[in-house]
Amino acid sequence: MRLLRTFHTIALPALFLCAFFAFACGPDTDRNEEMLQTAMERYLEGKLDQSLLLIDKILANDPEHSRALLLAARIEYYQQDMGAAEGHCLRVLKDQPDHVGARLLLARIYGQNGDRMVEALGQADEILAIDRGHVDAWYLKGRLHHGQGELSEAIQAYRAAIFYGRRIAGAHAALAKIYTEARLPGKAQRHEQAAQALDWQGTRAE
């Protein structure tokens, strides 16, 4: 009898509580996932304003929905609204500091502004501290250094992208350009041939 009373005292209220949360939270969660899927489809179709409207509805239900925040940031990045994109990335990183997708996009945002190049490279380094073999971070780091005329650092980063990715046409093409400008035709030709072969196979990095 004592065990039965204990069950009624502890287990039954817990079951009712679980049922309540399943009823109260489940439909909103499912609806958010449905809207996010539709938002992604509109994004891929190029219907960015429609995608953002759906994201706004998701964030009204769940203000810290990381995937919705990141999708909003991507759209705003393509729309050149860098301030809004940065804000959404930072909201993701507030709760998930190791979110490499948010850091990579943030690095690209900062890389659009010559005055924030140190911050852009810092974000790339943060990603590589989390994942040393992150190919996109190495490739972006190479582009950032290359844009600054820091060729030694750019070569090192591009080579790392090739090492970890094995099949990165963009990195080969960038190295071919560097070696051509440095009047090293042998190295330039090897990387240009590799870039052309990989590009033909659809492996060029953006």
**Whole-number pLDDT of residue 170:** 87
- pTM score over 0.95: no
Q: Which residues contact 51 (CB under 8 A, 6 or more apart)?
A: 39, 40, 42, 43, 71, 75
Q: Which of 79, 168, 158 is nearest to 71 (CA)?
A: 79
Mean pLDDT of 179-186: 91
Q: Say which amino acid occupies 113.
A: N
Q: What is the pLDDT of residues 91-107, one digit of tens each?
A: 999 999 999 999 999 99
Q: Are 79 and 102 in contact (CB under 8 A)?
A: no
Q: What is the pLDDT of residues 9-42, one digit of tens each?
A: 444 444 443 444 344 445 578 999 999 999 999 9
Q: What are phi and psi of 202, to 5 degrees?
A: 80, 35
Q: Are 67 and 39 in contact (CB under 8 A)?
A: no
182 three-state secondary structure: coil
Q: What is the pLDDT of residues 70-92, one digit of tens each?
A: 999 999 999 999 999 999 999 99
What percentage of the chain carries pLDDT values higher than 70?
A: 82
Mean pLDDT of 102-114: 96
Quote the CA–CA distance of 87 and 63 in Å, as a whole number. Answer: 13
